[in-house]
Amino acid sequence: MNTFYSKLKNVLESSEGDIWAETVLEGEHAGEKRLLINPEKNESESHERVFRERIGRTPKLIICGAGHVSMPIIRIGKMLGFAVTVIEDRPKFADNARAAGADQVFCVPFREGLADIPGDSDSWFVIVTRGHRYDTECLEAILQKRYAYVGMMGSRRRVTIVKNHLEEKGVSREVLDAVHTPIGLKIGAETPEEIAVSVMAEIIQVKNARSDEGGGKACGYSDEMLSCIFDTETDEKNTRVQKKVLATIISRKGSAPRSVGTKMLILEDGTTVDTIGGGCIESEIIQKALVMMRMDTPDFQICTVDMTADQAEDEGMVCGGVVEVMLERA
């Protein structure tokens, strides 16, 4: 594991701020990386072309309330890779949340449970309690934290009561108006499952639309990938650690299947962690990474893969386009 990833491991374990990585792409310093914590918008030490990305932690979905709507929200959240926490003060309903697959369930009053959740730029709060008194408690506590999203379910009248009450207590109208109410995309949802789809669809929409100005769309180190990068154990013969190359999409044109920042880790034995879209794009990148590991040089390179519409059709893919991929030893 190189020095950058050693630092990244320590920062992920100790820092609550926004973590960014910057990689120099061209010139004599190509391949050099550095970590930035809560950087200014244009902060950069390099005058060369660089690739800059916000490194997101595992996204956390915090659900206040464990009624009927919460159950499918829990299940969909887990499917989408969120670590799901539920706060519910009624034991029977808390048990239902555990059965639905929540990672953590706090069976305590809402204010007490929220006090134990620090909040950060990867925290997504969903308020689906049983009454406006509890909505008010939850929203007031959440708005004092850092968060990526806050949504609250309720009728327009109920939402108005909550917002007016908090405005009287000194919360700015601008902050209150930024809360997603009524929660969820407008898809005419009626059943708990449909409402859950609309809620999680809105969260996906917000997550994928986050701009660099507002905190940036978090890029791609999955827990499995980080675990593999940080793994320094030797192979089965106890001889050496497998070599690894990290592939990251740094630009794309056309209808390439995955977005900028998407990552795939390639191991020396040909196995991979995560995907950059499959098909011939991924196959070509894997082959280049294996050559890097066999030849022990270079440590860093940028590859361009041009997937025309005809080639995509031949591969049975619905996407084409051109992607630029950064390969670096991990």
For the chain, the residue count is 330
Task: Note the pTM of the prediction, 2 decimals.
Answer: 0.75
Percent helix, percent strand, percent coil in the chain, to nearest 5: 35, 25, 40
Backbone angles phi, psi at 296, to 5 degrees: 60, 20
DSSP state of 83: E
8 A C-beta contact, residue 70 and residue 97: yes
Tokens of 219: 């890029």
Closest C-alpha to 87, from 68, 59, 115 = 115
Higher pLDDT, 16 or 316: 16
305: which residues sit within 8 A by CB, 6+ positions away?
A: 280, 281, 284, 285, 322, 323, 325
Residue 279 clears pLDDT 50, i.e. is over it: yes
Q: Using one digit for the tens of pLDDT, what is the confidence trace for 6-61?
A: 888 888 777 667 788 899 998 888 999 988 887 765 555 556 789 988 887 788 99
C-alpha dihedral (266, 269, 273, 274), degrees to nearest 10: 70
Please report which residue ranges of 40-186 form alpha helices under DSSP H.
70-79, 91-100, 110-115, 132-142, 156-168, 173-177
Q: What three-state secondary structure class fits 71?
A: helix
Domains of the chain listed by start with CATH number: 60-212 (3.40.50.720), 220-330 (no CATH)
Higher pLDDT, 292 or 39: 292
